[in-house]
A = this chain, B = another copy of it.
Amino acid sequence: MSAARTLHLNTNITGTGRHPAGWRTLDNPKSIIDLGFFTTIAQIAERGKLDAVFLSDAVALRGHAHGPAQSLEPTVLLTALAGVTRHVGLIGTASTTFNDPFNLARRFASVDHLSAGRVAWNAVTTYDPEAAANFSIAESPDKQARYARAEEFVEVVLKLWDSWEDNALIADRASGRYADPARVHAIAHAGRHFQVRGPLNLPRSPQGRPVLVQAGGSEAGVALAARHADAVFTAQTTFEGAQDFYRDIKARAVAHGRHPDHLLVLPGLYPVIGGTLAEARRRKADMDALLDRGAELAKFAGALGIDAAALQLDAPLPYDLIDKGDRTDVSRGFIRSTVLLARGENLTVRDLLDRNPGAHRMIVGTPETIADDIERWFAGRAADGFNLNADVFPSGLADFVDHVVPLLQRKGIFRREYEGTTLRDHYGLARPSSRYADAATSAVADADALGAVS
């Protein structure tokens, strides 16, 4: 990274935006299966010089009676978006619980090739009995088992991405030598969850390795991020809480021998933008009026691990009932940040639902308010940047790009043009070399293993 710190901005482009009733304001509310809709959004992100677009994911259907859910598979949709953009990064979520490391490593490396080095994998684990029921798994694994598998899964994927050295593909027409077997390495991974010989059946991708993002807020998730991730997505609702998280995870990365700048901390941010505060509030109120309140209350209660009947709109949260850590079907990061916010500002359930009955911090305001807030968090090392959640696409993102981004550029904290071509370039991350490139000691073992596959 250069001496001057630079702000990083992604935008979540899942569904029709973060507001659950946002789709009811769209001309084409069936847009979640419409490539034109996502093309518009990705091109707006690129117009705003954003680092990346991001797709979250789920592998079980729910909530579809009231609004759009996840739908198109992320690596496929991101490949299509690579074709209609030139610079913006492409971050896709895929679960280590319901995938296989060889196929996943190959798929993300393929997108990295086809996008000329713009892809990232957001590695998540999944606790969801509904999802498990789609994958022939009778009982969803508990958190410890999920993260043990995730750690090993990530390790296998990183090894496979390294299995071809940069100069392994020769393609020398004169001699007829295509690849150099001495530079294509079996990974010979033999672990508890996976036994994978490798190598990957694909030459090394433009970024060396696709960028690795981690998004889990639990202790195990944070530990995984500190060890392996290039960026961490996190739910942070207070400035001080975010500073604590930032300090802690950077220190952990350093303890693993890493440079703290090589792990970007990117909290979620949910801006609702108006030319004046009144306009911003009206924008939100108009969308809120379209909400199914009962469905939202039930969703909120479920996320807190409690019964909807325990929530009273004009009372504080029932703190004593909220799950303290023995359940595995809730997000600890979400509960922690919600409780922190509610206690800190003495909020009622109605206030919380009003703010954003989801994980991410909402700011309803003018472009100036929002840009100032971003600058404060960035300068105060509460964040290296943000993962933006527009209320509804495309207008919520277009307003940010057209009115907030120019203010951030004027403050000198955000790029005016893309300076590189890959997502690693945008994030200020070095291109890693293959772990096998200098492995002189393992050369003989590799050559033996390769004998069988070449």
Interface positions of A (Cβ within 8 A of B):
21, 23-26, 29-30, 32-33, 35, 58-73, 75-77, 79-80, 82-84, 98-100, 102-103, 106-107, 110-111, 113-114, 130, 133-136, 138, 169, 171-173, 176-181, 184, 193-203, 290, 292, 452-454
A12 to B453, CA, bound (A): 24
Q: Max chain B CB contacts within 10 Å: which of A99, A107, A195, A201?
A: A201
Cβ 8 A contact of A102, one of B135, B172, B196, B200: B135
Cβ 8 A contact of A66, one of B65, B75, B176: B176
Q: Is the CB of B29 within 8 A of A60?
A: no
Q: Is the CB of A135 within 8 A of B100?
A: yes
Task: Determine how close the nearest CB of chain B comes to the CB of A128; give it in whole angstroms.
Answer: 10
**Considering only CB atoms, which chain B residue lies closest to A195 in the complex?**
B136
Task: Determine how close the nearest CB of chain B comes to the CB of A165; give it in whole angstroms.
Answer: 13
Q: Max chain B CB contacts within 10 Å: which of A60, A136, A169, A194?
A: A136
Residues of B within 8 A of A35 (CB): 113-114
Q: Is the CB of A130 within 8 A of B453?
A: yes
- 6 additional A-B pairs beyond A35-B113, A71-B203, A73-B110, beta carbons within 8 Å, are A29-B171, A63-B454, A76-B114, A79-B80, A80-B82, A136-B196
Residues of B within 8 A of A25 (CB): 173
Residues of B within 8 A of A138 (CB): 195
Q: Is the CB of A103 within 8 A of B59?
A: yes
Residues of B within 8 A of A133 (CB): 195-197
A200 to B131, CA, bound (A): 11
Can you sample 29 A-B contacts with CB below 8 Å? Answer: A26-B173, A33-B113, A59-B103, A59-B106, A60-B201, A60-B453, A61-B199, A61-B453, A64-B179, A65-B178, A72-B110, A72-B113, A72-B114, A72-B202, A75-B75, A76-B79, A76-B107, A76-B114, A79-B79, A80-B82, A80-B114, A98-B102, A98-B103, A100-B135, A130-B453, A133-B196, A136-B193, A136-B195, A138-B195
A194 to B26, CA, bound (A): 39
Q: Is the CB of A110 within 8 A of B452?
A: no
**Considering only CB atoms, which chain B residue lies closest to A138 in the complex?**
B195
Cβ 8 A contact of A292, one of B23, B58, B135, B176: B176
Task: Determine how close the nearest CB of chain B comes to the CB of A355; give it in whole angstroms.
Answer: 22
Task: Determine how close the nearest CB of chain B comes to the CB of A34; give it in whole angstroms.
Answer: 8
Cβ 8 A contact of A62, one of B26, B66, B453: B453
**Considering only CB atoms, which chain B residue lies closest to A130 in the complex?**
B453
Known: A59-B102, A201-B60, A453-B61. A169 touches B72 (CB 8 A): no
Task: Determine how close the nearest CB of chain B comes to the CB of A308; give it in whole angstroms.
Answer: 16
Q: Is the CB of B76 within 8 A of A111?
A: yes
Residues of B within 8 A of A135 (CB): 100, 102, 196
Q: Is the CB of A178 within 8 A of B73?
A: no
Q: Max chain B CB contacts within 10 Å: which of A23, A60, A138?
A: A60
A59 to B75, CA, bound (A): 18
**Considering only CB atoms, which chain B residue lies closest to A63 in the complex?**
B454
Q: Is the CB of B171 within 8 A of A201?
A: no
A117 to B63, CA, bound (A): 26
A312 to B176, CA, bound (A): 24
**Considering only CB atoms, which chain B residue lies closest to A68 in the complex?**
B178
**Considering only CB atoms, which chain B residue lies closest to A198 in the complex?**
B134
**Considering only CB atoms, which chain B residue lies closest to A32 in the complex?**
B203
Task: Determine how close the nearest CB of chain B comes to the CB of A228; give it in whole angstroms.
Answer: 20
Residues of B within 8 A of A107 (CB): 73, 75-76
Residues of B within 8 A of A454 (CB): 61-65
Task: Determine how close the nearest CB of chain B comes to the CB of A192; give it in whole angstroms.
Answer: 10
Q: Max chain B CB contacts within 10 Å: which of A61, A84, A111?
A: A61
Cβ 8 A contact of A65, one of B80, B110, B181: B181
Task: Determine how close the nearest CB of chain B comes to the CB of A67; give it in whole angstroms.
Answer: 5
Residues of B within 8 A of A110 (CB): 71-73, 76-77
